[in-house]
Amino acid sequence: MPKVTFLPSNKQIDFEDQENLLKAAMDAGVHINASCGGAGVCNKCRIFIEQGEVKGEELPDGGWKACNTVPVTDVVIRVPVESEMDRKALARPLASKAVSWIKIHGESLDLKTEPVVTKELIDLPEPSLHDNISDLGRIRREVGQSFHLDVDSQVLYRLPYALREGNWQVTASIMETARSDHKRLVRVQPGNETRANYAVCVDIGTTTVSAQLVDLRDQKVLYESSNYNPQVSFGEDVISRMEFSRKVDGLDILKDKIIECLNQLIEELVKGANASKQDISFISIAANTVMTHFLLGLETKFLRAQPYIPVANQFPPVRASEIGCDLPEHVRIFLAPCVASYVGGDIVAGVVGVGLNHHPELTLFIDIGTNGEIVLGNQDWMACAACSAGPAFEGGGIKFGMRATVGAVEVVHIHPVTFEPMALTIGGKKAKGICGSGIISLLAGLFMTGVLDRQGKFRRDLDTKRVRQGSEGWEYVVVEKEATSIGQDIVFTEADVENLIRAKGAMFAGYLTLLESVGMAIEDLERVILAGNFGSYLDLDQAIIIGLLPDIPRDRFFFAGNSSLTGARAAAISWPKFQEMKHVSQMMTHFDLSDNPRFMDHYVSCLFLPHTDLSLFPTVKEALKA
Amino acid sequence: MPKVTFLPSNKQIDFEDQENLLKAAMDAGVHINASCGGAGVCNKCRIFIEQGEVKGEELPDGGWKACNTVPVTDVVIRVPVESEMDRKALARPLASKAVSWIKIHGESLDLKTEPVVTKELIDLPEPSLHDNISDLGRIRREVGQSFHLDVDSQVLYRLPYALREGNWQVTASIMETARSDHKRLVRVQPGNETRANYAVCVDIGTTTVSAQLVDLRDQKVLYESSNYNPQVSFGEDVISRMEFSRKVDGLDILKDKIIECLNQLIEELVKGANASKQDISFISIAANTVMTHFLLGLETKFLRAQPYIPVANQFPPVRASEIGCDLPEHVRIFLAPCVASYVGGDIVAGVVGVGLNHHPELTLFIDIGTNGEIVLGNQDWMACAACSAGPAFEGGGIKFGMRATVGAVEVVHIHPVTFEPMALTIGGKKAKGICGSGIISLLAGLFMTGVLDRQGKFRRDLDTKRVRQGSEGWEYVVVEKEATSIGQDIVFTEADVENLIRAKGAMFAGYLTLLESVGMAIEDLERVILAGNFGSYLDLDQAIIIGLLPDIPRDRFFFAGNSSLTGARAAAISWPKFQEMKHVSQMMTHFDLSDNPRFMDHYVSCLFLPHTDLSLFPTVKEALKA
């Protein structure tokens, strides 16, 4: 792979899978002005080739557009600078990333296969006058010696035919119960059908529904698919959906929508895996408390209002067909247990998915989603809370916030002297808005370059057109109109900053409150696990700079991806993991922060960048000094 | 009460609830010729009043019609006799009756009330921010401390409303499971609904369905009702119904019919008891194997043909609404377990109903119904068999056989010299036919008076018009045309006798086969319990004379009535009794007599009156000598 050297900073990088030299510069820690996100329209990212060969877009007045040029050989590139100040400023730190938890500690993927429904091949002696026990008795005699075998009454209708069609060889689907000495016969198929024993695993998020088809023989994910939660049309967040559910038929509509979505995803899974719905033995679902209620069609009226009471936190297995899934009668849905109104089965599944409950280290598990749930603890105890952080870090409530799709500004570097941005979009397309990682990167950059003060206010006295008073107050122009696909300047406003400070403040106040409740402090944290989409792209330093994450050694951070889905899959592959989820949900001490005076105190202290008390953020304090 | 003295035999009786002097004579062991059954049309039952006062029908040529006369004061009555022979013959033995098992050993009625569904009144603390566990969790915390409490998913829909409507006082219906440390919440009602906890108990017989509504607080039967099994239209016996079930929709029709019947009976029960269907907590049903299959809509094709395999002998609790009963969703049906194709839940319920499994005495339990099932054993072991006796003793296959309703000849005494009958009908109405007890009484009388020989053939040389050659062979005229309501002579044919001998032979061969299988003999029997309708009216001596019952001391006989219904009720009142039924069904060794060579040997020996080997019937042998 070609080696790229950037002058004057003399930083080097191997050009690997970056799309262009602009992205390579970002990865190398080199600032190049670029305000169109890399879409090739602003012409600001001019570079000069001093050695080697490139191909791409040469500018008429000399130089190349970094955003549209790739190296052919090793190259030496000069980034034009106007002053010595610039030169120094170009040395910006490399992004610090969390490492994959699953790659390092992924024990939940190293599971013994013992699903809740197993398929057993049974060869039975043919009945005779001297051995004429009932069909069911014959099966029980063969498999039910060491445990009590209950039976679904539905099985009895098929049973006599299955036995005789299979010439007394049948495949029995046997389901575990809460008691190891109690099982349940849920299906009998003629002949050997043991090869096909699949589970569907689902994470029902407020925004996205993700599903996998897992082969229970070898734990392989045969196919996966995801889609937006169609309930979004009736409310972006759980609160507005709960409001909607109170309308006539509202609850039914929400239930129908999610069932429809599940049905579609399952269709896709079986089609994609070239499987049959008949081969699905059960479904494992993790979802937050509200989503779980909607899935079952349970009332959320009392969950919505103080004191926030769910109908249930642990749910009995439900027949998929009974709630409207287009699946055979034997298929049951196993739902991850919830802890409280706003700490749901997704968190419990996540905790079990990453195996937090098997590690002695003090761990902070963070799911920065719409709500922001956190779990603090280890194998012996756990405390959890929902922080009501809101969806700011998903782009919600941010003027130009958007989801992380093509055209979203995903990373921004601010030039410390000129305050010009180096902004990259997803897919290198014209900018449409700013996604979560872009927002964090922008907020951190503006703060560290002094464009924003610790209260989150723009400095009014800067010599740059980027900071200006807009129609809604002071703002920073991230991408100028000409370089966007939306025909207007993409700006980042003081109101946006305020929302983000409140959001990160709620999260951090949550950490502090839980830590304090067990007499511990930030520095005691041995591990921080980031769940959700954030993990792999997040620049830890930036997230710490803005006070969203605690300022502890970066090697204590891990990202776990969709740990809720990981947990649902773990519970599908291993029934004991499902039992663990129950155990975890019961061992978790829930702190209701909405009513907690200590939380309110911490929250107020957190409404600064990064925090009122800078000693909590030693590396940020150090960097600010420099 | 008036004292009645009959001359010349000088027998005395207190006139109690007999309808007339003819019935009083029958009870006193006095023969009075009477061939119209007591309907007042044959004018043969003339008596003379020697002392005291009577009222009734005086005959123009002197004397009174016994069948239509009652005493006003103490009376002395002379029965006209034609010869000294007659005089001696009038001393006929009194009927020997079995005593009520329930009255003497009725422990199953002395049950601790612990039904499978209990209603518990729960007062819950109102939730607050500091106590905001889920609604279900709140209930579990209150009642589920000492056991694992599962929950019907249906309960969750009503739960939040019930709690709040009841202002945090609710009535929880909690169902037992096979494990004492595992229960299930099946219903939650607002407020105190504990007063209404009813069970429906049902015996589904091939011919009759009997139901009771039981108050589970005090074990009282609030109302009872019964009806013919409407499946009768599709076949008199289980075999013909199984044949019918193989037709298109046959099984569905049979299922629908019995469900319809259940629905009607339940309507009658709640109406009669002024109760509500909402107050029914569950249903306990005892039925034979075929009826149980039809109720659930299970295939009987393989039960019908060798080697006679039921789908199941133990059935999971089924939701009543799921199989079509018009009842709330929480109501489950608990079915008595069966033993084999022709030894069903009715027998198992009967055995538990009489408590056979709690007595050390060697007991023979006999249910002479359509099929004839027997159980031999005690608290330690049990053997059972179906005898394929057929319905002869219910009147089936008997030319003038009929059910025990008004107009049925229910008892007959044969004059040993004139061979004239003294026949009484139910309700004293003109005769329509002969019911079971009449058939036994007739067969025994004809045999003991020598009208029938030991092979069951009529003596052709008797000086009586009563015995004659009819269109279908030799026969005995029980009631002459003029005295019947059907316009023809009611006769008892040699073919009838043959059928009866085969039926009683099958029963007795069954007793012998089971006894032999455990190395025991007739005289070892310590108790005989007669189940079904037979018991209370049966003249034991007569049943022994014809070889239907074993010739052992009469005080060893008991009748138990509808023990199947008794058992279903016991299981409703006491969940442990239901567990006992399971245990009993599993401890019973079933003998398939259809394939048993010893049974065939015994059967052939039983095709005599009372048996080839008279030494098996010492009292009959003695009486025949006399």
DSSP-assigned letters across all residues of B340-408 = BTTB-HHHHHHHHHHTGGG--S-EEEEE-SSS-EEEEE-SS-EEEEE----SGGGTTTSTTB--SSTTE
Task: Provide the pLDDT for residue B178.
Answer: 81
Q: Are residues B80 and B121 in the same domain?
A: no
Backbone angles phi, psi at A547, to 5 degrees: 85, 20
Q: Which of B190, B210, B234 is the last residue of a domain?
A: B190
Q: Is residue B206 located within the same domain as residue B147? A: no
Order of strands, sheet of B467-470, starting from the edge strand that comes earlier in the sequence: B467-470, B473-479, B490-493
CATH classification at residue A137: 3.10.20.880
CB A252 within 8 A of CB A296: no
Same domain, A266 and A330: yes
Residue A266 touches partner B, C-beta closer than 8 Å: no
Same domain as A276, residue A207: yes
Same domain, B29 and B77: yes
Final residue before a domain boundary, out of B136, B160, B190: B190
Contacting residues of A for B318, CB less than 8 Å apart: 153
Q: Which two tokens stand for residue B321?
A: 């609404």
Q: Is residue B362 part of a domain?
A: no
Pair B80, B7: CB distance under 8 Å: no
Burial string for B128-155 (b: 16+ CB within 10 Å, else e) reads: eeeebbbbbbbbbebbbeeeebbbbbbb
Residue A304: closest CA among A356, A244, A363? A244
B252 vs A: CB within 8 A:
no
A134 and B311: CB-CB below 8 Å? Answer: yes
Token pair 């495949």 is at which residue?
A: A171
Same domain, A212 and A172: no
- Residue range of the domain that includes A332: 198-342
Closest residue in B to A309 (Cα–Cα): B134
Query: Residue B250 domain-assigned?
Result: yes
Supply the pLDDT for residue A85: 54
Q: How far is CA B485 from CA B36, B293, B424, B478, in A?
A: 10, 40, 14, 13
Q: What angle do CA B66, B69, B75 make, to 5 degrees?
A: 90
Is the CB of A301 inside 8 Å of chain B's CB atoms? yes
Residue B112 lies in a domain: no
* 8 Å CB contact of B314 and A137: yes
> Are residues A340 and A383 in contact, defined by beta-carbon separation less than 8 angstroms?
no
Query: Is residue A172 domain-resident?
Result: yes
- Residue A435 CA, chain-centre distance (Å), reads 14
Same domain? For A290 and A166 the reply is no
CATH code (residue B3): 3.10.20.30
Whether B91 has a pLDDT exceeding 70, the answer reads no
Q: Tell me the chain B residues in contact with residue A314 when contact means C-beta distances shorter than 8 Å.
A: 136-137
Rounded CA separation A177/A95 (Å): 48
Convert A376-391 to b/e letters by CB count within 10 Å (16 or more is b).
bbbeeebbbbbbbbbb
Contact at 8 Å (CB) between B304 and B341? no
Q: How many angstroms separate the CA atoms of B201 and B573, rounded?
A: 10
In tens, the pLDDT along A119-159 reads 999 999 999 988 989 999 999 999 877 888 999 999 999 99
pLDDT for B322-351, tens place per residue?
A: 999 999 999 999 999 999 989 999 999 999
Tokens in use for B188? 């939650």
Tokens 């009142």 sit on residue? B573
pLDDT at B504 over 90: yes
Contacts of B299 in chain A (CB under 8 A): 157, 160-161
**A 317-356 residues inside an 8 A Cβ radius of B:** 318, 322, 338, 340-341
Same domain, B175 and B205: no
Same domain, B184 and B298: no
State the total domains in chain A.
Answer: 3
Both B154 and B211 in one domain: the answer is no
What's the CA gap between A39 and A482, in Å, rounded?
11
| Residue to substitute from B126, B153, B252, interface A, most A β-carbons within 10 A | B153
- Write out residues in chain A with pLDDT < 70, as ranges: 82-95, 102-109, 535-536
- The 3-class SS string of A413-472 reads EECCCCCCEEEEEHHHCCECEECHHHHHHHHHHHHHCCCECCCCCECCCCCCCCEEEECC
What digits encode the pLDDT tens for the residues B535-586? 667 889 999 999 999 999 999 999 898 999 999 999 999 999 999 999 999 9
Residue A620 placed within a domain:
no
Rounded to the nearest angstrom, the minimum Cα separation between A575 and chain B is 17
Q: What is the 3-state secondary structure (H, E, C) of B106-170?
A: CHHHCCCCECCEEEEEEECCCCECCECCCHHHHHHHHHCCCCEEEECHHHHHHHHHHHHHCCCEE
**Which of B:440-499 have CB within 8 Å of A?**
none
Q: Are residues A202 and A307 in the same domain?
A: yes
Is B86 in a helix, a strand, or coil? Answer: helix
| Chain B residues within 8 A of A161 when measuring between CB atoms | 299
Residues 209 to 248 of A: which have CB under 8 A from any B CB? Answer: none
Find the mean pLDDT for residues B91-103. Answer: 68
Pick the residue from chain B with its C-alpha nearest to A179: B182
Closest chain A C-alpha to B592 CA, distance in angstroms:
8
Within-domain flag for B531: no
CATH number for the domain harbouring residue A227 = 3.30.420.480
SS3 for A34?
A: strand
Cα dihedral across residues B422, B428, B434, B435: positive or negative: negative
**Residue B619: burial class (beta carbons within 10 Å; 0-12, 13-18, 19+):** middle
The reply to whether A280 falls in a domain is yes
Q: Estimate the crossing angle of helix A238-245 against helix A289-296, to 10 degrees.
A: 30
**How far is B440 from B503, CA to CA, in rounded Å?**
12
Q: Do A160 and B309 touch (CB under 8 A)?
A: yes
Which stretch of DSSP H or E encloses residue B46? strand B46-51
CB contact under 8 A, B311 and A136: yes
Predicted local distance difference test score (pLDDT) of residue A441: 92
Coil, strand, or helix at residue A493?
Answer: strand
Give the Cβ contact number of residue A17 at 10 Å.
6
Tell which residue, B603, B230, B546, has the closest CA to residue B412: B546
CA distance B561 to B581: 18
Answer whether residue B564 is part of any domain: no
The DSSP annotation for B267-291 comes to HHHHHHTT--GGGEEEEEEEE-HHH
Interface of A with B in 589-618 (CB under 8 A): 592, 594-595
Same domain for A134 and A72? Answer: no
Q: pTM (2 decimals)?
A: 0.86
**Integer Rg of chain B from CA:** 28
Q: Are B198 and B216 in contact (CB under 8 A)?
A: yes
Structure tokens at A200: 């569907």
Give first-to-last CA distance, chain A, whole Å: 36
Q: Which tens digits make up the pLDDT trace of B12-53? A: 888 887 778 888 888 887 888 887 777 777 777 888 888 888
> CA-to-CA distance for B501 and B439, rounded, in angstroms?
12
| Single residue among B475, B502, B529 that ends a domain in this structure | B502
Q: What is the DSSP letter of B452?
A: B
- Considering only CB atoms, A127 lies closest to which of B130, B297, B309, namely B309
